[in-house]
Each structure stands twice: as structure tokens, then as C-alpha cells.
């Protein structure tokens, strides 16, 4: 199952959810690959991996170079009927160097800051192809994993669109605070646009309420508001505001490794079980 964690609003708990849900799924015995599509690379560092070298940016470039070469060769063939094709084994991409093992058992294709330049490079492709590069990459990998989780950047650009086109479903984290639903209509427009034209099978896996504070009335009001908008799409599991969740990334660990008995760890374990149980 390929799931994007998607919300263009910043700081709602996307990365925290990708890191901790992925580790919780591994603890449930699942084989999990995480792809960090955010140039901020917080998922990468949160899982204890260096944000440089053989990143998802390099992998995209290898695919894009392959496409250019193919085009050039096709032109050659047309023009000169000269069949100068590249030998198969030269074109084959070695994915293993891009897939990093983390201490938690989660496998990761890391990000790096230069990933932000990718949007500009993708524009050279035709309008459909530029949205399908990640799908092409994942197509070669998906059989090996029970779950592939993709962390999206806080934007609706081509990096996020690539993630949505490559996914079976999306998880939408929503912070339990004032203006929780701000930006949700743009988010839903993008989701519908992708579903209508690029990926008909894209589903909403669930809406995840994050940073829930049981001491405030506001939290309960927001939960009701989100439930009345998304109906039965809201996960039963809510993620509480928990300081351990905020501390864990500075140790390059998930909260499940950093403080297994914390409320944050328990919540993400429950979320993993809810996701598997569906
Ligand atoms: N349940 C929680 N309890 C306490 N702090 C949290 C919780 N979830 C996230 N945080 C903290 O809130 C901040 C934003 O979280 P996070 O980075 O996961 O959001 P994001 O949606 O990935 O942000 P961005 O849009 O910038 O990628 C981080 O400092 C994180 O540690
Ligand atoms: Mg993030």
C-alpha cells in the first residue's frame, strides 16, 4: 500500500506522523519504505539519516537523464535509421544505493535541500510525464514492501503532485487548533483534480487529528468540526500533544525508540494497528 501524508499547510504533523507511523508499522512486522519528498528533509534527519548523497533528488535525475537519452536515441533512429541504442544493462538503475537502512528497521529514500530545484527541472517534461516520475520509481519497488509512506512538502507543487499520482491513498494530518480547516478546500481541490485526471484510484485513507490537547474545550470543538466535514474518514486514533514527540527528532529517533511508554508512542502504535486493520 502506497500512502502519501499530505497537507499543504505547514507544521500540522506530517513529518512527525511519517516518522512514527513508519516505525510503528515495522514493529507490527511490516516491511516499510519511506520516501522523503520534502526539501526540508525533516523525515530524513528524524530517522537518523544524513541529508546528502544518493537522495531522492539524485534518483529523479537518474530517471530524467535516462528519459533524455532515450529521446535522443529515438531521434537518431528516426533521422539516420542508425540503431545506436544504449545497452540494456547501462540503462538499468541500481536502486539499492538510494535505499538507506535506518536503525529502526524502516528503509528510507532520503531527501536533501537541492530537491527544491527539481520542480524547475520537471517542467521540461510534458505536462503528464512530469507528474509521473515518482510513480515510475515506485512501480519498480512496490512489490518488495507492505507499506510505502511518502512525506510531502507543505505545498501543492509538482513534488506533492508526484506523490499523489504515485499513491493508493492519502493521510491528511490536521492540527487540532483554531483555523484547523483553513486551506482544506484547496487541499481537497488538489486531491479531486488528481483523482479526476491523473490517478482515478486515489482514496482518502483517513484524516488524522494531531496535537490534540484534552485539557482544552477548543480541542473537542475542532474534533467535532473536522468530523462534520470529513464524516467517517476521520481516524479513531488521535495524536495527543506530547513533548516527547517534539524531542525525539533531535536524537534522530522515532518516539517509539526514544520513549516507548510515552503517550505519543502509544498513539502512533494504535494508528498503525488501525491502518492495518482496515
Ligand atoms: N503531537 C505532537 N505533540 C507535540 N509536538 C508535535 C506533535 N506533532 C508535531 N509536533 C511538533 O510540531 C512541529 C511541526 O511538526 P511536523 O514537522 O511534523 O509538521 P509538518 O506538517 O511536517 O511541517 P512542514 O509542513 O514544515 O513539513 C515540530 O516541531 C514537531 O516536533
Ligand atoms: Mg514536514
CA atoms lying within 13 Å on the CB side of residue 143: 2
Q: Which ligand is nearest to the CA of 244?
A: 1
Task: Judge residue 69's burial from the number of C-beta atoms within 10 Å of its C-beta, 0-12 exposed, 13-18 middle, 19 or more buried.
Answer: middle
Asked if the model's pLDDT at residue 77 lies above 70, the reply is no
* Cell numbers 494531531: residue: 210
Query: Measured from the CA of 18, which atom of ligand 1 is nearest?
Result: 18
**Residue of 6, 7, 15 to test ligand 1 pocket, by largest number of atoms within 8 Å of CB:** 15
Burial of 21 (0-12, 13-18, 19+ CB in 10 A): buried
User: Ligand 2: distance of its center to the CA of 123 in Å?
Assistant: 24
Which ligand gives the minimal distance to the CA of 210? 1
Query: Is the beta carbon of 38 within 6 A of some atom in ligand 1?
Result: yes
pLDDT digits (tens, 9 = 90+) for 185-231: 999 999 999 999 999 999 999 999 999 999 999 999 999 999 999 99
Residue 146 has pLDDT above 50, yes or no: yes
DSSP letter for each residue of 152-173: PPSS-SHHHHHHHHH-SEEEEE
CA dihedral defined by 87, 141, 98, 205, rounded to 10 degrees?
150
The CA distances from residue 267 to 25, 132, 171, 177, 260, in Å, are 12, 34, 15, 19, 11
Please tell me the least confidently modeled range out of 62-66, 97-101, 216-220, 260-264. 62-66
The torsion angle over the Cα atoms of residues 274, 41, 148 and 277, rounded to 10 degrees, is: 0
The answer to whether 20 and 80 have CB atoms below 8 angstroms apart is no
Q: Report the SS3 class of residue 209.
A: strand
Length of the chain: 278
Is the C-beta atom of 271 inside 6 A of ligand 1?
Answer: no
Ligand 1, atom nearest to 241 Cα: 3
CA of 119: how far to CAs of 41, 128, 162, 197, 249, in Å? 16, 14, 10, 20, 27
45 lines ligand 1 (CB under 6 A): no
Mean pLDDT of the chain: 93
Largest CA distance in the chain: 74
- Residue to mutate (ligand 1; options 246, 247, 264; most atoms within 8 A of CB): 246
Looking at residue 261, what is its pLDDT?
A: 97
Give dist(CA 185, CA 196) in Å, integer.
16
pTM over 0.85: yes
Among protein residues, the one whose CA lies closest to atom 8 of ligand 1: 13
Digit-coded pLDDT (tens) for 80-123: 555 555 444 446 789 999 999 999 999 999 999 999 999 999 98
What is the CA(40)–ligand 2 centre distance, in A?
Answer: 7
- 56, 37 contact by CB (below 8 A): yes
Residue with C-alpha cell 500500500?
1
Amino acid at each position: 500500500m502506497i500512502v502519501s501524508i499530505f497537507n499543504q499547510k505547514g507544521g500540522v504533523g506530517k513529518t512527525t506522523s511519517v516518522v512514527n507511523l513508519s516505525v510503528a508499522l515495522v514493529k507490527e512486522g511490516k516491511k516499510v519504505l519511506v520516501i522523503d519528498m520534502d526539501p526540508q528533509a525533516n523525515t530524513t534527519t528524524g530517522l537518523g539519516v544524513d541529508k546528502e548523497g544518493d537522495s531522492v533528488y539524485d534518483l529523479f535525475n537518474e530517471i530524467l537523464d535516462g528519459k533524455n537519452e532515450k529521446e535522443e536515441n529515438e531521434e537518431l533512429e528516426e533521422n539516420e535509421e542508425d540503431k545506436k541504442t544504449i545497452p540494456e544493462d547501462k540503462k538499468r538503475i541500481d536502486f539499492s544505493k538510494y535505499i538507506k537502512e535506518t536503525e529502526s528497521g524502516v528503509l528510507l529514500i532520503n531527501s536533501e535541500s537541492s530537491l527544491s530545484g527539481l520542480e524547475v527541472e520537471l517542467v521540461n517534461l510534458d505536462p503528464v510525464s512530469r507528474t509521473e516520475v515518482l510513480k515510475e520509481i515506485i512501480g519498480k519497488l512496490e512489490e518488495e514492501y507492505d507499506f510505502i509512506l511518502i512525506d510531502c512538502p507543505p505545498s501543492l507543487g509538482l513534488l506533492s503532485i508526484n506523490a499523489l499520482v504515485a499513491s493508493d491513498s492519502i493521510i491528511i494530518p490536521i492540527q487540532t487548533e483554531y483555523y484547523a480547516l483553513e486551506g482544506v478546500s484547496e487541499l481537497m481541490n488538489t486531491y479531486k483534480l488528481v483523482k479526476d485526471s491523473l490517478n482515478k484510484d486515489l482514496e482518502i485513507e483517513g484524516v488524522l487529528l494531531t496535537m490534540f490537547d484534552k485539557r482544552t474545550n477548543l480541542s473537542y470543538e475542532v474534533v467535532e468540526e473536522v468530523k462534520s466535514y470529513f464524516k467517517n474518514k476521520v481516524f479513531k486514533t488521535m495524536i495527543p500533544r506530547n513533548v516527547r514527540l517534539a524531542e525525539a527528532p533531535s536524537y534522530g529517533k522515532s518516539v517509539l525508540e526514544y520513549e516507548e511508554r510515552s503517550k505519543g508512542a502509544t498513539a502512533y502504535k494504535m494508528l498503525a494497528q488501525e491502518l492495518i486493520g482496515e
